[in-house]
């Protein structure tokens, strides 16, 4: 428990309590001096490595045996930043430099009274990991396995840090998956950020199909479609939207695209459609998928923009393949009949 002031350290007089500016303060009646109790500044540091946060186990009271961030008081004449880096090195053996301020909090402690907590993110610049100072252990914990920390301000700072980093990590994960796969489709689902937009498209295949039909039956680039049976058009565009979803989920591969769209190109030729009209009809499907995705409340945050750009790339790859094989099928005299299949 924090000890109360009993005597004036200037004159040795008895301390009483008096009101000043509507605040009850310690007061020495002998030398007419008020004493001001200000919160003590406490610094803590979040050091991250491979999405693991460095924690230390306290070796002294209060909270001996509990885990916390490298944490300590600021010394007189010391800057906040210098104090944070000093505590980091004393308690973990790691030298660091501050990246940014994570959180500021206030609280009361039975031992020290009112405190102000300032938490910084830092990156390693030297040293090696070891326990030291008031700590008996120091190690990294994965972000999903952080124990309950000794200080409430530490818990809040870690939660704030993880929340602020979540979008960045999600983008990084999705980017790494994108980079690892040339065509963004495989035997297993990729779990990319834009998958949530793909689900929106799959769930709304009917309205997207209807929007496309209105466009393709009136667009100047597709005159042969203007009087084509709308029920057949609906079946054709809905099939392509379904294929797009299956391709993104890994259930439709490049050979499937080759076979389907090569046959489709030959069928369009036999039906009397010009190649330019056929490719334009495909391009309009791509356009309406993209526009529908954007209409779902995009562009609010950085992660939304990334999702849209990622989806755009996936759309382009699929429809570039589809257009290429359609053109080859259209121009190839060896393209056979389609039998019972009604292709777009």
- pLDDT tens for the chain, 344 residues: list them: 567 888 888 888 898 999 988 888 888 888 988 988 889 999 999 999 999 999 999 998 888 999 999 999 999 999 999 999 999 999 999 999 999 999 999 988 777 788 999 999 999 999 999 998 789 999 999 999 999 999 999 999 999 999 888 867 765 665 555 544 544 444 344 555 556 666 777 788 899 999 999 999 999 999 999 999 999 999 999 999 988 888 877 778 889 999 999 999 999 999 999 999 999 999 999 999 888 877 765 556 666 777 777 778 888 989 999 999 999 999 986 654 443 344 44
Are residues 140 and 264 located together in one domain of the fold? no
Give the ranges where 141-253 is alpha helix by DSSP (H).
152-180, 195-203, 205-216, 230-248
Q: Give the C-alpha separation, 276 to 240, whole Å.
A: 18
Are residues 293 and 225 located together in one domain of the fold? yes
Label residue 244 exposed, middle or buried (CB < 10 Å: 0-12, 13-18, 19+): buried
Which position has the token pair 């409430």?
Answer: 152
Q: What per-residue confidence (pLDDT) applies to 338?
A: 43
Q: What is the residue range of 322's domain?
A: 195-331
Q: Is residue 68 part of a domain?
A: yes
Are residues 87 and 154 located together in one domain of the fold? yes
Q: Is residue 115 part of a domain?
A: yes
Q: Is residue 176 part of a domain?
A: no
Q: Is residue 187 part of a domain?
A: no
Q: What per-residue confidence (pLDDT) applies to 335?
A: 52
Backbone angles phi, psi at 73, to 5 degrees: -80, 150
What is the number of alpha carbons within 13 Å of residue 267 lying toward its C-beta?
Answer: 16
Q: What per-residue confidence (pLDDT) applies to 9?
A: 84
Q: Is residue 344 part of a domain?
A: no
Q: Is residue 90 part of a domain?
A: yes
Are residues 80 and 200 located together in one domain of the fold? no
Are residues 14 and 46 located together in one domain of the fold? no
Are residues 256 and 325 located together in one domain of the fold? yes
Q: Is residue 188 part of a domain?
A: no
R_g over Cα of the chain: 33
Q: Is residue 131 part of a domain?
A: yes
Are residues 44 and 22 located together in one domain of the fold? no
Q: What per-residue confidence (pLDDT) applies to 48?
A: 95
Are residues 45 and 154 located together in one domain of the fold? yes
pTM attached to this predicted model: 0.58
Q: What per-residue confidence (pLDDT) applies to 342?
A: 44
Are residues 248 and 140 located together in one domain of the fold? no
CATH code, domain with 66: 3.90.79.10
Task: Classify residue 22 as left (phi > 0), alpha (psi -120 to 50) or beta.
Answer: left
CATH code, domain with 32: 2.20.70
Q: For the segment 263-289, what is each residue's pLDDT rounded down to a tens digit?
A: 999 999 999 999 999 999 999 999 998
Are residues 70 and 98 located together in one domain of the fold? yes
Tell me how many domains the chain contains: 3
Are residues 14 and 26 located together in one domain of the fold? yes
Are residues 313 and 282 located together in one domain of the fold? yes
| Terminal Cα distance for the chain, rounded | 80
Q: For the segment 36-47, what is each residue's pLDDT rounded down to a tens digit?
A: 888 999 999 999
CATH code, domain with 301: 1.10.490.70
């Amino acid at each position: 428990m924090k000890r109360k002031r009993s005597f004036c350290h200037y004159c040795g007089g008895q301390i009483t309590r008096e009101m000043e500016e509507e605040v009850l303060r310690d007061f020495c009646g002998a030398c007419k001096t008020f004493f001001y109790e200000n919160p003590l500044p406490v610094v803590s540091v979040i050091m991250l490595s491979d999405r693991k946060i460095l924690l230390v186990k306290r070796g002294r009271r209060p909270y001996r045996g509990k885990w916390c961030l490298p944490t300590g008081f600021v010394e007189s004449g010391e800057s906040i930043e210098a104090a944070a880096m000093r505590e980091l090195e004393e308690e973990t053996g790691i030298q660091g430099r501050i990246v940014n301020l994570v959180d500021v909090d206030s609280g009361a402690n039975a031992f020290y009274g009112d405190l102000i907590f300032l938490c910084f993110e830092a990156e390693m610049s030297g040293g090696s990991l070891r326990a030291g100072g008031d700590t008996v252990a120091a190690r990294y914990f994965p972000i999903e396995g952080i124990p309950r920390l000794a200080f409430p301000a530490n818990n809040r700072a870690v939660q704030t840090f993880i929340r602020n980093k979540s979008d960045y990590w999600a983008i990084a994960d999705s980017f790494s998956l994108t980079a690892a796969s040339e065509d963004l489709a495989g035997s297993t689902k990729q779990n990319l950020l834009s998958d949530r937009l793909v689900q929106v498209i799959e769930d709304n295949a009917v309205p997207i199909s209807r929007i496309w039909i209105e466009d393709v039956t009136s667009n100047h680039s597709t005159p042969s479609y203007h009087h084509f049976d709308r029920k057949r058009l609906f079946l054709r565009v809905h099939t392509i939207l379904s294929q797009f979803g299956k391709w993104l989920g890994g259930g439709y591969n490049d050979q499937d695209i080759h076979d389907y769209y090569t046959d489709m190109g030959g069928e369009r030729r036999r039906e009397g459609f010009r190649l330019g009209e056929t490719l334009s009809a495909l391009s309009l499907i791509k356009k309406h998928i993209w526009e529908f995705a954007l209409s779902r409340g995009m562009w609010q945050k950085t992660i939304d923009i990334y999702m849209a750009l990622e989806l755009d790339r996936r759309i382009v790859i699929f429809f570039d393949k589809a257009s290429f094989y359609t053109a080859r099928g259209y121009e190839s005299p060896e393209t056979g009949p389609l039998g019972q299949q009604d292709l777009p």
